[in-house]
């Protein structure tokens, strides 16, 4: 990747030119994350990511709960990998009365210092010499939405619901605006397909397989709004699903042309196979008793039919790509219509290779488990790597395995010049979600996510280089088995604000977290004072995850001191009762470094000052294990990230 290097005096040239304050009363609210400070209420931007030549507009909503009238300014300080770029951008606010609201726009001309860079924006509301409130924003300067994928679920296109409908009264415009505030840059459009094997329906309204009445007008409004924010849109279509006997008319009688001979069968019945022999979902039950039957994804005629049907779907709505879903590991042997075993080893890559020639759009395929994940990751048609992660022994058996999985996928894919983007779907607090006393399961009690369990997972996933795909419209996070069509646990204001800081952190420091990251080649770091640490993740200690990229040595400190072995081994916090970590005092750190000229040392944490960076001092030394630095981090709650410049001037990140 060619990189333009500039002297620091030219970085973000003229960045302080444009700051415009528009103080207006707010109209209809939308599902943006709301903050809990005394002035900052929400932050949004006009694009999900920015390209060269764009003007980056931040909209900052103020809600005055200070108890008195606020007059002052909203100041924005921008940093890249800890280095301030340009001057402070300031917008005036005059006479904002207590309990009043207003919106402030900050306009930032983009200066292109190279592709795929995140920028941290520290926001401060200042009156005189007093900082009244602080918050954070992030800007993603990238040429696409696939390198740093941040997928969210778009579902709010129905007019009526067959079961217990999610509580979501938003318009499509409000839903997409809310997603943008959460930093989503591509949407999985879930539930809009007419039938599992026949996604397109020409009518203005139709009932889908989940019993929802879908509206073409709402779908079109949703997609058009996403385009305005530059979000990618992926049409959800299963790879091998058909509507079977429990949804009439079934695939054999609905005029679609789908053939029984294309099926995946539970026995080697060959030409004598019947509908009852088709593998059904869930669990392989006969398809004549289930809602979903499974087709053979290696069958050439099925692949041709699938590509034609999806082509109609894409042509009608102009989705940007396809999200291909699967149902994970198959139980037992599954046969084709010739009575032979279906070869699954290359089924995912073979399917994508065939249909890509017809649909010719970005494709994401969810293997729904680690089963055949290597075949998928090695396929060059995968736009980015999405997978449902599970708190099972064969997938994510503890918090440290997130990093193991990331290294595996990056190694399998071996993408150049940028590592493949990772986006992982995983719900938490599922036992509580299933509790019959909760409104999520027919009860009367509003039950809430456990913030501690949420942040343990976010810290582990983000520090491993993956985005967490678990947000559906209406500020609904996944608390079930990883799909967005049901009612979810509720989130407290504190939870929303903390999750916003974590999502913002993931964008602001994306090049340190997600771009060409590998395990450090240096000796293991250690904590010399203040806590017990280990380079191996485990219960009862601080995990020291040591990574690196060109020009930088990176250390993540992840606090598992308050978790016992059982809790550490189940990352989903099923009963929503994991304890919050005790905030440490100062921690002394010894960190071995790679060869090269040492520069500045920085740290940041989404738990401290909304993720703002700070520079640390350090001393140097060497022993039989190599050269090292010694330094102190002021505290640790869930997650601290430290990074050291090492040969930065010759790296692809020389300019922040």
* Local structure of 513: helix, strand or coil: helix
Residue 518 neighbours by CB under 8 Å, 6+ apart: 407, 410, 547, 548, 549
More confident residue, 176 or 27: 176
Which of 167-171, 327-331, 471-475 shows the lowest mean pLDDT across its residues? 167-171
In order, the DSSP letters of 237-273 are EESSEEE-TTSSS-TTTSSS---GGGB-BSS--GGG-
CA distance 48 to 139: 8
Quickly state the pLDDT bin for 164 (edges 50, 70, 90): low
CA distance 137 to 43: 7
Taking alpha carbons only, the member of 560, 550, 624, 554 closest to residue 589 is 554
Percent of the chain whose pLDDT exceeds 70 = 94
CA distance 644 to 633: 13
* CATH no., domain 518-650: 2.60.40.1180
Summarize pLDDT for 368-417 with one digit per residue, the tens. 999 999 999 999 999 999 999 999 999 999 999 999 999 999 999 999 99
83 neighbors 37 (Cβ within 8 angstroms): no
The pLDDT of residue 592 is above 90? yes
392 neighbors 436 (Cβ within 8 angstroms): no
Residue burial 59-90, b: 16+ Cβ < 10 Å; e: rest: bbbbbbebeeebebbbbbbbbbbbbbbbebbb
The pLDDT of residue 13 is above 70? no
Residue 163 has what pLDDT? 65
Quickly state the pLDDT bin for 323 (edges 50, 70, 90): very high
CA distance 40 to 492: 17
The pLDDT of residue 11 is above 60? no
More confident residue, 603 or 484: 603
CA distance 612 to 604: 6
Percent of the chain whose pLDDT exceeds 90 = 86
The pLDDT of residue 4 is above 60? no
The pLDDT of residue 309 is above 80? yes
Taking alpha carbons only, the member of 581, 579, 586 closest to residue 531 is 586
Task: Name the CATH architecture for the domain at 8-141.
Answer: Sandwich (2.60)
Residue burial 484-499, b: 16+ Cβ < 10 Å; e: rest: bbbbbbbbeeebbbbb
The kind and range of the H/E element at 567 are helix 565-568
More confident residue, 260 or 3: 260
Residue tagged 């016992």 (tokens): 564
Residue 7 has what pLDDT? 28
For residue 81, give Cα distances in angstroms to 179, 624, 642, 644: 25, 31, 10, 10
HSE on the CB side for 591, CA within 13 Å?
A: 33
Taking alpha carbons only, the member of 551, 558, 550, 652 closest to residue 606 is 558
The model carries a pTM of: 0.94
The kind and range of the H/E element at 439 are none
Quickly state the pLDDT bin for 355 (edges 50, 70, 90): very high
CA distance 154 to 156: 6
632 neighbors 587 (Cβ within 8 angstroms): yes
The pLDDT of residue 20 is above 70? no
265 neighbors 337 (Cβ within 8 angstroms): yes
The pLDDT of residue 9 is above 80? no
The pLDDT mean for the chain works out to 92
Phi, psi torsion values for 643, nearest 5 degrees: -140, 140
Residue 159 has what pLDDT? 92
Domain boundaries in the chain?
8-141, 518-650
E strands present in 499-638? 518-519, 526-529, 533-534, 542-549, 552-559, 587-592, 598-604, 614-616, 619-623, 626-633
Summarize pLDDT for 57-76 with one digit per residue, the tens. 999 999 999 999 999 999 99
Q: Average of pLDDT values for 511-519?
A: 98
Residue 479 has what pLDDT? 94
C-alpha triplet 610, 615, 616: angle, nearest 5°: 115
The pLDDT of residue 21 is above 50? no
CA distance 459 to 605: 10
Residue 484 has what pLDDT? 79
Phi, psi torsion values for 612, nearest 5 degrees: -65, 140
CA distance 50 to 442: 43
The pLDDT of residue 104 is above 90? yes
Q: Average of pLDDT values for 576-591?
A: 98
Check if 8-141 and 518-650 are the same fold.
Answer: yes
Residue 167 has what pLDDT? 66
């Amino acid at each position: 990747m060619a990189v333009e290097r500039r002297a620091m005096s030219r970085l973000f040239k003229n960045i302080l030119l444009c700051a415009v304050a528009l103080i207006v009363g707010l109209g209809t609210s939308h599902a943006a994350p709301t903050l809990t400070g005394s002035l900052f209420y929400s932050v949004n931007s006009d694009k999900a990511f920015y390209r060269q030549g764009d003007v980056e507009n931040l909209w900052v909503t103020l809600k005055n709960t200070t108890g008195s009238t606020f007059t002052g300014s909203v100041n924005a300080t921008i940093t890249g990998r800890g280095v301030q770029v340009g001057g402070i951008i300031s917008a005036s606010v005059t006479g904002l009365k207590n309990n009043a609201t207003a919106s402030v726009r900050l306009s930032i001309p983009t200066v292109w210092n190279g592709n795929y860079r995140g920028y941290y924006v520290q926001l401060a509301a200042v009156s005189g010499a007093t900082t009244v409130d602080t918050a954070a924003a992030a800007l993603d300067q990238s040429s696409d939405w696939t390198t740093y994928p941040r997928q969210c679920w778009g579902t709010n296109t129905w007019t009526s619901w067959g079961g217990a409908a999610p509580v979501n009264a938003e318009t499509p415009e409000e839903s997409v605006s809310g997603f943008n505030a959460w930093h989503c840059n591509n949407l999985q459009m879930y539930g809009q397909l007419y039938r599992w094997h026949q996604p397109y329906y020409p009518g203005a309204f139709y009932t889908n397989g989940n019993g929802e009445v879908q509206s073409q007008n709402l779908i079109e409004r949703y997609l058009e709004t996403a385009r305005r924010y530059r979000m990618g849109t992926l049409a959800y279509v299963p790879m091998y699903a058909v509507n079977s006997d429990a949804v009439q008319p079934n695939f054999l009688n609905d005029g679609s042309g789908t053939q029984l001979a294309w099926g995946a069968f539970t026995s080697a019945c060959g030409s004598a196979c019947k509908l009852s022999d088709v593998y059904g979902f869930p669990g392989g039950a006969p398809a004549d008793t289930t809602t979903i039957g499974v087709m053979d994804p290696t069958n050439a005629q099925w692949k041709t039919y699938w590509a034609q049907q999806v082509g109609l779907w894409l042509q009608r709505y102009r989705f940007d790509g396809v999200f291909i879903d699967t149902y994970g590991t198959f139980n037992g042997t599954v046969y084709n219509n010739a009575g032979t075993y279906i070869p699954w080893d290359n089924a995912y890559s073979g399917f994508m290779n065939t249909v890509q020639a017809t649909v010719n759009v970005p494709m994401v395929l969810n293997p729904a488990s680690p089963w055949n994940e290597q075949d998928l990751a090695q396929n060059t048609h995968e736009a980015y790597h999405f997978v449902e992660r599970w708190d099972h022994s064969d997938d994510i058996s503890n918090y440290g395995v997130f990093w193991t999985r990331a290294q595996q996928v990056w190694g399998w894919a071996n993408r150049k010049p940028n590592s493949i983007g990772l986006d992982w779907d995983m719900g938490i607090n599922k036992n509580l979600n299933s509790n019959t006393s909760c409104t999520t399961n027919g009860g009367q009690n509003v039950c809430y996510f456990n913030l501690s369990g949420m942040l343990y997972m976010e810290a582990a996933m983000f520090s491993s280089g993956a985005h967490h795909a678990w947000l559906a419209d209406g500020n609904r996070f996944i608390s079930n088995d990883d799909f967005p069509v049901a009612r979810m646990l509720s989130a407290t204001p504190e939870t929303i604000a903390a999750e916003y800081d974590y999502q913002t952190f993931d964008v602001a420091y994306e090049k340190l977290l997600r771009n060409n990251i590998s395990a450090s080649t240096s000796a293991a770091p250690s904590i010399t004072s203040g806590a017990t640490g280990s380079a191996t993740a485990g219960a009862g200690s601080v995990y020291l995850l040591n990574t690196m990229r060109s020009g930088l040595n990176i250390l993540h400190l992840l606090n598992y001191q308050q978790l016992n072995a059982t809790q550490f081994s189940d990352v989903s916090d099923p009963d929503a009762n994991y304890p919050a970590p005790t905030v440490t005092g100062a921690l002394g750190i010894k960190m071995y470094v790679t060869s090269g000229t040492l520069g500045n040392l920085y740290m940041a944490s989404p738990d401290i000052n909304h993720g703002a960076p700070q520079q640390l001092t350090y001393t140097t030394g060497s022993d039989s294990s190599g050269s090292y630095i010694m330094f102190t981090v002021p505290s640790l709650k869930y997650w601290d990230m430290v990074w050291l410049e090492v040969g930065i001037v010759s790296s692809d990140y020389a300019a922040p």
